[in-house]
Amino acid sequence: DAGVIQSPRHEVTEMGQEVTLRCKPISGHDYLFWYRQTMMRGLELLIYFNNNVPIDDSGMPEDRFSAKMPNASFSTLKIQPSEPRDSAVYFCASRQGLSYNEQFFGPGTRLTVL
């Protein structure tokens, strides 16, 4: 298996622009997680899905952030409009079944908002 795939790997944009990050989970995994990592705040869980349904979005910073999972093999995280404080590495992860199973992380998308 190719693992969790994220695109793009790097994104540089200007403040106010819309940014869309993409994730393809491992086939057969029924949970998908979006995280954000910064030096200041560490690793933060933004939202996660089970069988394409959002379960907990309490970590989403504000209304500028939205996430969708239209099918089992694809998810997006959108920021509109983007701000410099959104600069971070965004990780997608997936898991199969129960909570004690391994969570597999993608390589991340490094977002820079100028």
Partner 1 sequence: GDSVTQMEGPVTLSEEAFLTINCTYTATGYPSLFWYVQYPGEGLQLLLKATKADDKGSNKGFEATYRKETTSFHLEKGSVQVSDSAVYFCALSLTGANSKLTFGKGITLSVRP
CB of 105 to partner 1, least distance (A): 3
Cβ proximity to partner 1, 71 vs 99, nearer residue: 99
Sheet holding 5-7, edge to edge: 5-7, 19-24, 74-79, 65-71
Contact 79, 65 (CB under 8 A): yes
CB of 54 to partner 1, least distance (A): 11
CA–CA separation, 41 vs 20, rounded Å?
22
Q: Does 105 bind partner 1 (CB under 8 A)?
A: yes
Binds partner 1 by CB under 8 A, chosen from 56, 83, 84, 85:
56
Binds partner 1 by CB under 8 A, chosen from 25, 46, 88, 91:
91
Q: Which residues of 90-114 are buried (b: 16+ CB within 10 A; e: fewer)?
A: bbbbbbeeeeeeeebebebbebebe
CB of 112 to partner 1, least distance (A): 15
> Which residues form the interface with partner 1 (CB under 8 A)?
4, 33, 42-43, 45, 48, 50, 55-56, 91, 93, 98-100, 102-108
